[in-house]
Structure 1
Amino acid sequence: MAYREVTMIEVKEVLRQWLSGLSRKAMVRWVGLDRNTIRRYLQVAQQCGLHAADGVDALTDEKLSEVLAALGAGPGRPHGEGWAICERHREKIAGFIKDRIRLTKARKLLLRQGIDVSYPTLHRFAISELGFGKRRLTIPVADCGPGEELQLDTGRMGLLEPGEDGKRRRFKAFIVTSVLTRHRFVYPVFTEQTADAIEACEVAWEYFGGIFRVIIPDNTKAIVNIPDPLDPVINIAFQEYSQHRGFFIDPARVRAPQDKGRIERPFAFIENNFYPGRTFADLADLNR
């Protein structure tokens, strides 16, 4: 008999959703696991003293480690050379965080000094070792109430004015929309990578005044590695980010705009009404 590997992120996500009051049907859809696997994780969690009514705060690192040990799972992703680089430059990274420099910018500053570390590794190190983001709280919400759902889409937008080389550069954008208020936030980017998605979310939280409980993303590869109506595979770095920030990911089905009906039309509105007829020199000009 073949046994599937049990990962820390997977178990943590199941327990987090269970302790948040999500139904098992929703957990099957959001986590992409079958009912039997979810049932096994929850049975072991209960044997370790966790109960659905305890709330997410009961899922401490110690309790998670206890559940993982009972399931025979490892403690998480192993630390590689990138982590060792972060350790060697701990004081410098801590200084960036103290000065409230975004991690995407911090990585660029490190690169300028010849220090090359991937964004996911830098983000994991900042969270687990330096307490990055611990003071930012999630808005307490009720079902379908304020701060409940945020829809996210990406797409190609317009062209910037010619640069020093005389060429015009096309930019993309992350567009996030509150399901309740339909307020929109647009974050222009040149690349559509996981670091860009995390940065867009961070700036969106500031714009909306808090963290939404559920993000419904389109199937951008920055967030969803493998889109599937029943078993989507979420990018592991973005999944860790969602666990740290305390929100859930509910991917839209492929080619199913009805899943995200409130964002498709705003996306067309932005394409057709905001950018045409206006000129921008760079992304900083766009953000202004």
Structure 2
Amino acid sequence: MPMVEVREVLRLRQLGYGLRRTAALLGLDRKTVRRYLAVAEVVGFRPESSEITDGLVTDVLVALQPGRPGGWHGENWAGLESQRSLLQEWLSDGLHLTKIEVLLRRRGVAVPYRTLHRYCVSELGFGAQRDTVRVDDGEPGQELQADFGRMGLVGRRGSVRRLVKGLVLTAVLSRHMFCWLTFGETLEEVIEGFEEAWIFFGGVFHVVISDNLKAIVVKADPLHPDLNTGFLEYAQARGFVVDPCIIKSPTQKPRVERMVPFCRQAGFAGEDFPDLGSARAGMRRWCLEDAGMRIHGTTQRRPLEHFREAELAHLLPLPEGRYEVPIYARPKVARDHHVGVAKALYSVPGGHIGERVDVRADSRLVKISYHGIVLREHVRQAPGGRSTFPEDLPQEKRGYAMRDLEYLKSVATGHGEQIGIYATQLLDSPLPWTRMRQVYRLLGLVKRYGAERVGRACAKTLALEVVDVVRVQRILEQALEQEREEAGVQMALAFPPRFARDPSEFALKKKENHRA
């Protein structure tokens, strides 16, 4: 019964209208009019002196509410009231009302499900939603809310069709929105969607309130979310701030939450897009011509006109050129002191074999870092290429790995002039790297016989114009043997005898132990 209806009955009564005339004017039954007036007199209404106030009308309406003798509720309600604490415990444990109804019946309290539901809702707060408030829209051009949602299938009917998702971006103030369709939610696809959005809006918003998809947030946290490094670098390059909402809290970004089903139902549904390209073009046109020119239910304005009037001038400048999405990887350093990135090899300094390093690769540079410290920067190589810094390799293997002939010559010259000349002669070949093993053999002779003896042997072979490291080794062995014969020195044992005592001593001790 509306308040205005009761008020009009009381007003007509003050004007002197009878029951029949009042009922005819208001389209009510005379019994209803009589009941209204009777209840009004009970709560204190007097036609000749009372003022018809909102309080009086409210009292009449309350008194007109149906009731039961002895109170508002019956025996079933009283039975539930006796089990109040137990019902609270069951609801806090997450039990469904259907299960609670069964448990109550076991205890001898049999009540209808509707009564149980009404009692839990009105007395125990079951299913009650918390109060909410509307958050202010903020300054023009400041906030953009982003969310992902499924849109539908693309492809000709009867052929293979694929599910597409929509990255929906909504301006908080004007509600102007953009929908970018993708097959996945990778970092590359998300950044591509944002790049298209900046072109669509004509600038960059200052703050992006995003969902917690992995391309943006690695680990969600209300206070300290762990942002994806790739998207964070993109935000820094474009000048906006990322503000992820709390996980599983759609009320944190309400402007865009309702736009996802709106895009799906009003924009994508019913369309026959043959491929992803045509679907993107169709949704872009729909965002401008249909969604952008409708009268928004909250703002009562056309979002496109509202955006151009209030927000466009406050956006950050449109970026020059497309953003290049880097490659982020965490490879393990192999035994050859290299890591593989995008089918190319890059050297890593230090003793990091078997450890994982962080790699960022763009079209120009490849940065390798370990625990935040940059170890090496390489020029980006094509697939199958390799970039190696000599200082990243062990010193004893550096020359051979890099085929550095000058390095081998300098090492040989460091042991003596004749050895350096001999090494240069060894490498004097149309294919010098095929003679590198002989130089390594020569350096091995230096370690074994000493630089002075090897220098004399090299001088002898050079005098005979013989360049052969095997000949040098033979000269050194013969000279060493001759020196031993002249000095009368016998060859010392390479290893001491295995037993220092005579075996008979152990045999005797064994017999004594046996007799004991």
Q: What TM-score do you get using the length of structure 1 for normalisation?
A: 0.48
